Amino acid sequence: MLTLHRARLVLADPAAPPVTDGAVLVDGAVVAAIGPFAELAGRGARVRAWDGVLVPGLVNRHGRWLLESAYHPDPREESGDRPLPPPAELTEERWGGSARRGLQRMLGHGATALTGPFDRPSVRTAVARSGLHVLPGDGASGSLDPLDGQALPAAVHRPLAVGGAADFAVFDEPGPGAGCLATVLGGRLLHRRR
């Protein structure tokens, strides 16, 4: 199925000029075309219009720490939605639940990749099922926000390219502090801000 993601600005590669009123045509899990919306419209694709900036998916460079050294509380616990020190005697099952919530929160910040490796079996399972790409990293502590004060080019997993993976995010504005409107991983919409 073809999906055309239209955005006010498309920045497929941070090193290249952006496309105003641009679009990314996705065929399954792959980018089929990138360019001005007017040139890509009318191909029988479902259109998703985003009022924001479409960028390549980001890397959360604190993945290992966030999933194996921090606890992501269940909303029913009324402990907020920020990572906390893990409770004493956290079972493997609860580590898995924490990891799934942490992964959802990473997607909510535009991450399509994170750093590992992961030692806990329940965390490895949650990461494998999420579809996020695992990259080697140092496991340093940090934020759920992949930008985490750094410039966009340093946070990008890989530029969007025709024939490449349809992994991208849409933000309401460019740069640090921007809110993530949507995250697409392998052509699937996995996060959409309500």
Residues 177 and 18: their CA atoms lie apart, in Å, by 20
**Burial class of residue 30 (count of CB atoms within 10 Å of its CB; 0-12, 13-18, 19+):** middle
The pLDDT tens digits of the residues spanning 25-82 come to 999 999 999 999 999 998 889 999 999 999 999 999 999 999 999 999 988 888 877 8
Residues 55 and 51: their CA atoms lie apart, in Å, by 13
Q: What is the pTM of this model?
A: 0.91
CATH class of 2-57+158-192: mainly beta
Lowest-pLDDT range of 75-84, 93-102, 117-126: 75-84
Domain boundaries, the chain: 2-57+158-192, 59-136
Question: What single-letter amino acid sits at 108?
Answer: G
State the pLDDT at residue 83: 87
The pLDDT tens digits of the residues spanning 132-149 come to 999 998 767 777 777 777
- Over 80: is that where the pLDDT of 93 sits? yes
The answer to whether residues 186 and 57 touch, using CB atoms and an 8 Å cutoff, is no
- Over 70: is that where the pLDDT of 89 sits? yes
Compute the average pLDDT of residues 91-107. 94
Compute the average pLDDT of residues 71-97. 87
Residues 192 and 86: their CA atoms lie apart, in Å, by 28
State the pLDDT at residue 194: 79
- Over 90: is that where the pLDDT of 165 sits? yes
Residues 119 and 128: their CA atoms lie apart, in Å, by 13
- E strand map for 42-161: 46-56, 58-60, 111-116, 133-136
Compute the average pLDDT of residues 99-118. 95
Kind plus residue range of the DSSP H or E element containing 2: strand 2-10
Cis peptide before 153 (omega within 30 of 0): no
Cα 146 to Cα 30, 75, 154, 160, distances in angstroms: 23, 22, 10, 17
Between 141 and 19, residue with greater pLDDT: 19
DSSP string for 159-180: ---TTSB--EEEESSSSTTPPE
Q: How confident is the model at residue 4 (pLDDT cuts 50, 70, 90)?
A: very high
Compute the average pLDDT of residues 124-131. 96
